[in-house]
């Protein structure tokens, strides 16, 4: 079978792991695979935080003020401007569409598309083009675990199927079904079988071929970074706002064996002549055997390697993040580490189910920085119940820890309907008086809402203080190996 995979979720720093994995499985089964990467044909992708310009603080204030404005017209204008600049709009994807047309002209039996919800418009254009030539199209992505979104996409003319869940265990069956069998496949909704039951979480990772990244535009990436994943889901999995543990890649925690991870590092590094890895695990210290395996063996496996990872600093149980372990991790090549601060106010951390304290986070960032690891943190503004004083505490935490933190990402609360927070608000709206006008948005996959927390002048002034501290941290130039990972996570 000639199968083309369209990687709409492509990123400008490294290949897309899920697409590499699908390509490897299909090739191992004897299919002829083509990967279409919009980035390879000059289409931009979403950007991650990098060093802001000197006036970036005013930019962040403007963004915040317009995002939370009580004036609907201001927010509508902001959304319009963002949409006009979005790489997801069909006009920005003209080169991708031309690539797809070329592949269809040369002869393709099946199109598989990997997409986030904002790519619906361009997916519709691809599906219509494929339908004109009688080529089936199946789309998959993390948001399709939500049945209403899957149904919305299945409505696109020419769409043959929407897949939800982890595809590895069902991919070959899916190809057989779409190409003629028509039988039911777990996770696959089709116009004839629209009811979607997400596929069960996949676990047999060690039986999979390593992801195949041969089709990606290596010459366009600033560094030759190989994405790796040692496990799916998160060993913590409690945070109330977290959509990652609800969508396809996150349900329950499952890990690869360290031997399989190690073999892949060797294989990918030889194949792509690189020793740079980004571990995409939600929490790399979920399986401590793998975490310590990396610390103990990464340098003997790929001498000189550098890598980056996300961890969670929980206060109960062993985290593998003590000062000695962090020093050893740095020696093993860990250059940059990301963790969630989210808030420095204990009441907010508890409400979020973070399982940590500001003191534990304080120790962690000091120890990591003293070990020579560049620290990146994420934060959330506007969690229900957050007060101006809570935001000031976070601002103070950032000011006190400026020497130890290199980058901070500020997010305003996003509510995904399927998360514990989204469910709780829908069940008991009276307990969340700050959150109003909650409504699902099928285009974004989020719940649109009004958040009264942002409307208090005290909160706004605390946010300005925090944004100022964030700007001072983010203006720090990165040093050494951590520069390799600027904008990567
Ligand atoms: S630690 Fe991170 S990945 Fe795990 S549940 Fe919390 S936010 Fe989600």
CATH number at residue 118: 3.40.50.2300
243 and 163 assigned to the same domain: no
* Structural domain count, the chain: 2
pLDDT of 198: 74
166 and 281 assigned to the same domain: no
284 and 412 assigned to the same domain: yes
314 and 460 assigned to the same domain: yes
CB atoms within 10 A of CB 79: 12
Q: Are 204 and 177 spatial neighbours (Cβ–Cβ below 8 Å)? A: no
385 and 449 assigned to the same domain: yes
- Provide the domain limits for residue 406: 222-485
169 and 244 assigned to the same domain: no
Which atom of ligand 1 is closest in space to residue 235's alpha carbon?
4
278 and 328 assigned to the same domain: yes
pLDDT of 399: 98
CA of 1 to the centre of ligand 1 (A): 39
303 and 415 assigned to the same domain: yes
CA distance 253 to 277: 22
Average confidence score pLDDT of the chain: 94
Pairing of strands 110-114, 2-7: parallel
DSSP SS3 for 336:
strand
Q: Based on the number of CB atoms within 10 Å of its own CB, is 223 exposed (0-12), middle (13-18) or buried (19 or more)?
A: middle
Q: Are 281 and 322 spatial neighbours (Cβ–Cβ below 8 Å)? A: no
312 and 365 assigned to the same domain: yes
Q: pLDDT, tens digit, for every residue of 165-186?
A: 889 999 999 999 999 989 999 9
* CATH code: domain of residue 263: 3.20.20.70
Six-digit token string for 402? 């400026």
| Ligand 1 site, residue 432, Cβ cutoff 6 A | no
φ, ψ of residue 356 to 5 degrees: the values are -145, 175
CA distance 401 to 395: 10
482 Cβ contact partners less than 8 Å away, ≥ 6 residues apart: 335, 336, 373, 374, 406
Q: C-alpha angle 262/264/269, rounded to 5°?
A: 100
Largest separation between any pair of C-alpha atoms in the chain: 63
Query: Does a structural domain hold residue 64?
Result: no
CA of 313 to the centre of ligand 1 (A): 10
| Ligand 1 site, residue 239, Cβ cutoff 6 A | yes
Query: Does a structural domain hold residue 214?
Result: no
CA distance 134 to 131: 5
Q: Which of 189, 207, 232 is the last residue of a domain?
A: 189
Q: What Å distances lie between residue 86 and 36, 45, 46, 117, CA to CA?
A: 19, 8, 8, 13
Task: Give 10-residue mean pLDDT values along the chain (489 residues).
Answer: 94 94 98 96 78 94 93 90 81 90 97 92 95 97 87 96 93 96 94 86 94 96 96 93 72 92 98 98 97 98 98 96 98 98 98 98 98 97 98 98 97 93 95 94 90 94 98 92 85
Six-digit token string for 8? 């709409």
φ, ψ of residue 198 to 5 degrees: the values are -55, 145
Query: Does a structural domain hold residue 83?
Result: no
Query: Does a structural domain hold residue 69?
Result: no
Q: Which residue has the tokens 């899957």?
A: 150
| Ligand 1 site, residue 481, Cβ cutoff 6 A | no
pLDDT of 43: 87
CA distance 488 to 48: 7
Nearest CA to ligand 1 atom 3: 282
Region for residue 371 given its phi and psi (left: phi exceeds 0; alpha: psi -120 to 50; beta: otherwise): alpha
Query: Does a structural domain hold residue 158?
Result: yes
Pick from 234, 250, 252, 361 the residue to mutate for probing ligand 1's pocket: most ligand atoms within 8 Å of its CB: 234
Q: pLDDT, tens digit, for every residue of 343-355?
A: 999 999 999 999 9
CA distance 158 to 36: 19
pLDDT of 250: 59
Closest C-alpha among 264, 248, 247 to residue 256: 264
Query: Does a structural domain hold residue 72?
Result: no
| Ligand 1 site, residue 340, Cβ cutoff 6 A | yes
438 and 387 assigned to the same domain: yes
| Ligand 1 site, residue 234, Cβ cutoff 6 A | yes
Q: Are 161 and 184 spatial neighbours (Cβ–Cβ below 8 Å)? A: no
Closest C-alpha among 380, 446, 489, 412 to residue 143: 446
170 and 305 assigned to the same domain: no
| Ligand 1 site, residue 342, Cβ cutoff 6 A | no
DSSP SS3 for 115:
coil
């Amino acid at each position: 079978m000639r199968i083309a995979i369209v990687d709409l979720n492509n990123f400008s720093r490294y290949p897309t792991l899920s697409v590499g994995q699908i390509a490897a499985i299909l090739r191992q089964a004897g299919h002829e695979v083509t990967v279409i990467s919009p980035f390879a044909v000059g289409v931009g992708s979403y950007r991650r935080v990098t060093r802001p310009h000197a006036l970036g603080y005013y930019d962040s204030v403007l963004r915040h003020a317009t995002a939370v404005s009580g004036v609907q017209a201001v927010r509508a204008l902001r959304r319009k401007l963002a949409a006009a600049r979005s790489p997801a709009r069909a006009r920005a994807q003209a080169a991708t569409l031309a690539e797809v047309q070329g592949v269809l002209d040369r002869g393709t039996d099946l199109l598989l598309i990997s997409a986030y919800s904002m790519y619906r418009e361009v997916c519709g254009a691809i599906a219509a083009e494929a339908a004109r030539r009688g080529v089936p199209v199946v789309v998959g992505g993390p948001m399709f675990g939500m049945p209403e979104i899957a149904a919305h996409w299945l409505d696109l003319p020419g769409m043959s199927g929407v897949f939800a869940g982890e595809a590895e265990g069902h991919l070959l069956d899916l190809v057989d079904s779409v190409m003629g069998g028509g039988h039911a496949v777990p996770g696959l909704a089709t116009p004839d079988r629209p009811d979607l039951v997400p596929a069960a979480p996949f676990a047999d990772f060690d039986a999979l071929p390593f992801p195949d990244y041969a089709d990606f535009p290596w010459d366009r990436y600033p560094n030759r970074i190989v994405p790796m994943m040692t496990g799916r889901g998160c060993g913590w999995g409690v945070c109330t706002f977290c959509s990652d543990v609800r969508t396809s890649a996150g349900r329950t925690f499952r890990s690869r064996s360290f031997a399989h991870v190690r073999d892949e590092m060797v294989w990918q590094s030889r194949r792509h002549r690189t020793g740079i890895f980004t571990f995409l695990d939600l929490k790399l210290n979920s399986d401590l055997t793998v975490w310590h395996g990396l610390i103990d063996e990464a340098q003997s496996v790929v001498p000189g390697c550098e890598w980056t990872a996300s961890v969670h600093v929980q206060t109960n149980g062993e985290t593998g993040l003590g000062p000695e372990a962090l020093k050893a991790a740095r020696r093993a090549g860990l250059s940059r580490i990301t963790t969630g601060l989210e808030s420095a106010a204990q009441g907010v951390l508890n409400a979020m189910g973070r399982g940590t304290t500001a003191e534990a986070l304080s120790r962690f960032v000091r120890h990591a920085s003293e070990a020579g690891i560049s620290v990146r943190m994420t934060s959330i503004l506007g969690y229900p119940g957050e007060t101006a004083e809570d935001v000031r505490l976070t601002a103070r935490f950032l000011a006190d820890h400026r020497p130890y933190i290199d980058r901070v990402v500020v997010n305003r609360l996003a509510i995904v309907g399927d998360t514990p927070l989204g469910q709780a608000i829908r069940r008991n709206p009276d307990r969340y008086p700050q959150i109003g006008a909650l409504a699902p948005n099928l285009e974004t996959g989020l719940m649109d809402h009004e958040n009264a927390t942002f409307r208090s002048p005290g909160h706004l002034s605390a946010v300005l203080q925090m944004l100022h501290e964030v700007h001072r941290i983010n203006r720090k130039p990165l040093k050494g190996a951590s520069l390799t990972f600027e904008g990567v996570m």
